[in-house]
Amino acid sequence: MTPATRFAVAIAALPLVAGAVLPSPAAEIPLNERRSAYEDMSRDNKAMQDDDTSNPGILGVLDGEMLWSTPAGASGKSCADCHGDAKSSMKGVAARHPAFDPVSGRPLDLEQRINLSRQQDQKAPPFAAESKELLALTAYVAMQSRGEPVAPPDDPRLAPFIEIGRALFNARQGQLNLSCAQCHDDNWGKSLAGNVVPQAHPTGYPIYRLEWQSLGSLQRRLRNCMIGMRAEPYAYGALEYVDMELYLMWRARGMKMETPGVRP
Partner 1 sequence: MMRLAATTVALLAAPATAQEALLPYEIVGDTIPKSLTGAPGDAERGRAVVVKRESTCLLCHSGPFPEQRFQGDLSPSLKGAGARWSEGELRLRLVDAARLNPATIMPSYYRIDGLTRVAQNYRGKPVLTAEQIEDVVAYLMTLKD
Distance from the Cα of residue 111 to its chain's centroid: 11
Q: How far is the CB of 195 from partner 1 (least distance, A)?
A: 8
55 close to 108: Cβ distance less than 8 angstroms:
no
- Considering the complex, state which of residue 52 and residue 232 has its C-beta at the smaller distance from partner 1: 232
Amino acid at 3: P
Q: Which of residues 4-23 bind partner 1 (CB under 8 A)?
A: 14-15, 19-22
Q: Which of 66, 104, 177, 254 binds partner 1 (CB under 8 A)?
A: 177
Cis amide bond preceding 98, omega within 30: yes
Identify which of 164, 253, 160, 139 has the alpha carbon closest to the alpha carbon of residue 201: 253
Total chain residues near partner 1 (CB under 8 A): 32
Q: Which of residues 157-176 bind partner 1 (CB under 8 A)?
A: 171-176
211 to 230: interface string for partner 1, x by CB under 8 A: ---------------xx--x
Catalytic residue flag (residue 225): yes
Identify which of 218, 222, 128, 236 has the alpha carbon closest to the alpha carbon of residue 173: 222
Q: Which of 62, 151, 197, 225 binds partner 1 (CB under 8 A)?
A: 197
The rounded distance, in Å, linking the Cα atoms of 50 and 167 is 34
The rounded distance, in Å, linking the Cα atoms of 218 and 141 is 15
Q: Catalytic positions, please? A: 225
Interacting residues toward partner 1 by CB under 8 A: 14-15, 19-22, 24-25, 171-178, 182-183, 186-187, 190-194, 197, 226-227, 230-233
